[in-house]
Chain A
Amino acid sequence: DIVMTQTPLSLSVTLGQPASISCRSSQRLVYTDGNTYLSWFLQRPGQPPRLLIHKISNLFSGVPDRFSGSGAGTDFTLKISSVETEDVGVYYCMQATHFPYTFGQGTKLEIK
């Protein structure tokens, strides 16, 4: 199975400051169609996860544009340009290129 490794595991950020989370896969995530199926999810406390980004950098409907995704191959990054209170929670990356799909272990973001 592909292992997804996120760093850091926890992040404390001042409101209005940027944040960045890294996700590294144990194998390249380029599918046979040339696309890379790497998604990001946010799970707020007591809530189910919600989709933020798919295919590395595509924002899902309704997701604020302070979120952005980048990367290629095995290294991917989620960035928040200016952290807001509602961004608190655990962020997960997930690869959907190879079966079985696998999630990173999660990165907990809190407000400093």
Chain B
Amino acid sequence: EVQVVESGGSVVQPGRSLRLACSASGFNFGTYAMSWIRQAPGKGLEWLGFIRSKTWGETTEYAASVRGRFTVSRDDSKSLAFLEMNSLKTEDTGIYFCARYSGFGLIDYWGQGTLVTVSS
């Protein structure tokens, strides 16, 4: 059974950094891209970015709103993906979802999400 579990969400002050982790199981992690999507309170979904598999050079893509501040990485030996978030702003508050990405719109298995609150 495919499972994706996010962790690391917390309350953090504006301007600080936070790293989220995404643990995956039930599939060959190293052969899939992993994506991050967030949802501000009471709002819709916002695609943040993804990291391709090693086969595709572990290259990344990002939304303009987070490019340069957020970094997606992965550790295939531990079936983990990460979202490093720097210079956090209050508008970064929301639930952060990690999901397996099978390519071309197939965001097929999602975690339950982890809550990030940016507040002083």
Interface residues of A (CB under 8 A from B): 1, 31, 35, 37-39, 41, 43, 48-51, 54-55, 60, 90, 92, 94-96, 99-106
Q: List 14 A-B contacts (CB under 8 A).
A: A37-B105, A39-B106, A39-B107, A41-B45, A48-B97, A48-B110, A60-B106, A92-B44, A94-B107, A95-B105, A100-B47, A102-B47, A103-B44, A104-B44
Contact A96 B44 (CB under 8 A): no
Tell yes or no: B11 within 8 A of A by CB. Answer: no
Nearest CB in chain B to that of A95: its residue: B105
Contacting pair A55 B47 (CB below 8 A): no
A95: B residues at CB distance < 8 A: 105
Known: A48-B110, A94-B47. A99 touches B61 (CB 8 A): yes
Contact in complex: B97, A49 (CB < 8 Å): yes
Chain B: interface residue total (CB-CB under 8 A):
21
Q: Which residues of A contact B62 (CB under 8 A)?
A: 100
With contacts A39-B105, A54-B106 known, is A49 near B61, CB below 8 A?
A: no
Give residues 58-96 of B contacting A (CB, 8 Å): 61-64
- A53 CB to nearest chain B CB (Å): 9
- Min C-beta distance of A11 to chain B, whole Å: 16
